[in-house]
Amino acid sequence: MTQLGYIIAGWVSTFGVLGAYAVLLINRGKAVSREVAEDRRRWMTTDMPEAAGAKGK
């Protein structure tokens, strides 16, 4: 295949970077969710906190 080097460089970097980022995200997600109390662990609660960190209730 002609210009094989460029093709490999382009595809490997794309899949590689995106794959690495995906792995990074998942690991960060697990690490942070362990630091959060169980009842707050799902991503959207019914009462959404307002800005400046104050909780709705």
- Interface with other proteins in residues 1-57 (CB under 8 A): 1-4, 6-7, 9-11, 13-15, 17-18, 21-22, 25-26, 28-30, 32-44, 48-55
Report the nearest approach of other proteins to the CB of residue 46 (Å): 13
Contact 40, 31 (CB under 8 A): no
| Chain centroid, CA 39 distance in Å | 21
Contact 19, 10 (CB under 8 A): no
Q: How far apart are CA 23 and CA 31, in angstroms?
A: 12
List interacting residues with other proteins (CB under 8 A). 1-4, 6-7, 9-11, 13-15, 17-18, 21-22, 25-26, 28-30, 32-44, 48-55
